[in-house]
Structure 1
Amino acid sequence: MTYKIDNLSIKELQKFIIDLNEKPFRAKQLYKWIYQKGITSFEEMTDLPLNFRDKLSDIFEFTKITPIEQLLSKLDGSIKVLFELEDKNYIESVLMFDGERVTACVSTQVGCRMGCKFCNTAKIGLIRNLTSGEIIRQIIYLKDLARQNNKLLSNIVFMGMGEPLDNYENLTNSLDIILDEDGLNFSHRKVTVSTCGIIDKLYTLSKNYKVNIAISLNASSNKIRSKLMPINKKFNIEEIIKSIKNLPIPKRKRITIEYVLIDGINNTKRDANLLVKLLKGLPVKVNLIVYNKIKDSQFNPPDLNYALNFQKTLINNGVATFIRKSFGQDIEAACGQLYAKYYKERGLWKRSNLTQEIKQ
């Protein structure tokens, strides 16, 4: 039986090493070869004894994800990648350039079961969770892609396909590797986990990791949020606000509230004022995201003036608010768009459009 070496934590790897009658420090050497140097062949790990490399080859193999389509945005230089997994499933990742800030947006699941009505990934449904190795391989690939563009990957956001906290074990296994100085060696300040609001897992994550947290709110009333996001029926707005007050947030850190502005749904002056009442005085900042139009969707982005006025209302009432720059609008960079395009072009897209009409 072989194991995927890049699915293992440092402690798990050390146990394997000890069972092979090797010294525990070999685990750190392996970690550096795999994650810092990006090596996927034991033969190339030249500072390891040959007999040890032979043992490793007999027991371990590396996770493989294969890029099968790569789109470059002419608008902002962002790059979207469609990966084929070993079981012939597919996921998407995006590399975004914003000055010296270079961000990898990675997926945690094939599809998603949260059912958010404005999200293309919701139409796929949940096919399966990604392993920690599959999560990490996306980052390593995008890190190399950034280097090819003479840039260094600086930030990681878990905002791709899937709900990260719905794949909690593999998410945290990957975080251990990302934050380990012998692994990918990223600061917790440069890593953001976005969630639609799975509060119990959010508490657990916050107690054990200092990474940045982003919560998708997208409405200022439970009536609208429940229609946009079915998760609200389990974890409603009041629960989210309560969690923000009680989470162990380090000083000078703020939780990001993500709010997708959809024309005629959640972008009115009234919505902005209700949002002020919810958030004022909390350690948060708001990222307004103008809806990225999806083909065949009935939803539409609002005029930019609506976004600016919405932002102005929040800022004038003491809520730090930013309009998030949209990347890759010419390369179908919204989650699930490239996946859907690939399947439709090959006649494989059989899942129904789950979007339903929403009225206030």
Structure 2
Amino acid sequence: MNEKQNLLNYNQQALNDFFAKLGEKPYRTKQIMKWIYKDHVFDFNQMLNLSKKLREQLTEIACIDFPTVVSKNHALDGVVKWVIDMGSENNVEMVYIPEKDRGTLCISSQVGCALACTFCSTGYQGFNRNLSTAEIIAQVLIANLHLTSSGKRISNVVFMGMGEPMLNEEAVYSACDLLLDDLSFGLSRRKVTISSSGVVPALERMSERVPVSLAISLHAPTDDLRDELVPINKKYPIKELMRACDVYLNAGTQERHILFEYVMLKGVNDSQQHAEQLAKLLKGVSAKVNLIPFNPFPQSEYQVSSVRTIEKFQNILFSQGIRTMTRRTRGEDVDAACGQLAGKVKDKTKRTDARRN
């Protein structure tokens, strides 16, 4: 018996193709997307504007399946963290961050992460697999279902949870299609952000494939230091990364900007020299820098830079005309802050075993 097709895997075009193979007209796509994404109805038998024959056919060959929520934790500052069971002893985490004028959902794209950035808890868990489009989109639906009852909304979605989105391109692109589609979530392109550590070929493809916002996990202004903090830099050094950023900025007809993320590590990347090097690197680039105070986790030996050091670093960038902000730490009491997401990963890379020995 063939496995049922999870319709959460399909963007609008894929659903059109799916229904065409069943001999149905494209309007069926609009009907079923409304049921799923607007009405939150996931049982085909309740979709009464579909013919009885089609409802029976869909029940036989398709499904709308969600992963299970393992836990939901509320931080004192209003942040919510979900742990979601992805099967085979694997969990991922997602986080909702409420602000006065918006609500941001931080979602995961992989079970674990293969890039092993030294300041990130996810990197210490190892890597198991990519998430499907359905598993990515289900995170947004789950959060919507949980938040609606409390009058909260998701205005922004960021791929800044577990995993490197650009190592799971097709699923992430398809999920972005759904996030932007008026028939599903209807977010504007500026409200959806992909964060990458710098997978250069994928970044160049993304520039043309999905018109969403881009954040780059930079964290160092020189190759020597970035090789240590963000190991993928050894394959795609800063010069190549900046060239890919230029491709992104010049793609399409609408103005684009890049957010460069920079975690502040005491005595590692937070000196006046580092700030000056960063300002020189980003001179003339349409960008903003987000300084992120390091959030500790058990396996790490790093410490967060002092408030005074971060302010001094920020002022140097300001003086060089670089737009800069410092991210306020949120959700730290439930391990939901940036860099703290760990989930539960059955590591296929054996990297965790190597660290123990």
TM-score (norm 2): 0.93
What letter is aligned with 1:255?
Answer: I
Q: How far does residue 177 in structure 1 lie from its aligned partner after superposition?
A: 1.1
1:87 CA drift (Å): 4.0
Residue 79 (1) aligns with residue 53 (2): no
> Which secondary structure state, in structure 2, belongs to the residue aligned with residue 294 of structure 1?
coil
Conserved? CA contact 1:257–1:287, under 8 Å = yes
Superposition deviation, residue 100 in structure 1: 2.2
Which residue in the other structure is 2:151 paired with? 150
Identify the residue that residue 292 of structure 1 maps to in structure 2: 295
Q: CA RMSD in A?
A: 2.1
Contact 1:197 1:216 in 2 (8 A): yes
| Change in CA separation of 1:87 and 1:56 when aligned onto 2, cut-off 3 Å | farther
**What residue identity is the alignment partner of 1:92?**
E
Q: CA deviation at 1:243?
A: 2.2
Residue identity in the other structure for 1:185 = G
Q: Report the Cα offset of residue 132 of structure 1.
A: 0.2
C-alpha change, 1:175 and 1:31, in structure 2 (3 Å) is: same
Distance 1:353 1:292 in 2: 24
Equivalent position of 2:330 in the other structure:
327
Q: 1:27 corresponds to which residue?
A: 29
Aligned to 2:72: 70
Deviation digits for residues 131-188 of structure 1, max 9, x if unmatched? 0000000011112233233122100000000000000010011111111111221111
- 170-179 or 16-25: bigger deviation: 16-25
Using the TM superposition, name which of 282-291 and 145-154 deviates more.
Answer: 145-154
- Where do residues 229-268 of structure 1 align in structure 2 (5 Å cutoff)? 229-247=230-248, 248-249=250-251, 251-268=254-271
Q: Deviations over 1:191-245 (max 9, x none)?
A: 0000001111111111122100000110011111001111001111111222223
Deviation at 1:354, TM superposition (A): 5.1
Within 2, Cα distance between the matches of 1:62 and 1:272?
49
**C-alpha separation in 1, matches of 2:10 and 2:263:** 36
Deviations 1:82-139 (A, max 9, x none): 0012444210000000112100000000001011011111112210000000000001
Q: Which residue identity does 2:113 align to in structure 1?
A: C
Q: Provide the C-alpha distance between the structure 2 equivalents of 1:301 and 1:107, rounded to a whole number of angstroms.
A: 24
Letter in 2 for 1:297: S
- Given the superposition, is the C-alpha separation of residues 198 and 338 from structure 1 closer, same or farther in structure 2, using an over 3 Å criterion? closer
Shift of 1:12: 2.3
- State the partner residue of 2:163: 162
| Unmatched runs of 5 consecutive residues or more in structure 1 | 356-360
SS of the aligned residue for 2:333 comes to: coil
Say if 1:68 and 1:336 are closer, same or farther in 2 by CA, change over 3 A.
farther
Percent sequence identity over aligned pairs: 35
User: Given that residues 117 and 354 in structure 1 are in contact (C-alpha distance below 8 angstroms), is that contact kept between their aligned partners in structure 2?
Assistant: no
State yes or no: 1:309 paired with 2:328: no
Q: Provide the residue aligned with 2:277 in structure 1.
A: 274
1:335, CA displacement in angstroms?
Answer: 6.2
Partner of 1:180: 181
Q: Does the 8 A contact of 1:64 with 1:85 survive in 2?
A: no
Q: In 1, distance between residues paired with 2:306 and 2:338?
A: 22
Q: What number of residue pairs does the alignment pair up?
A: 349
Secondary structure of 1:81's match? strand
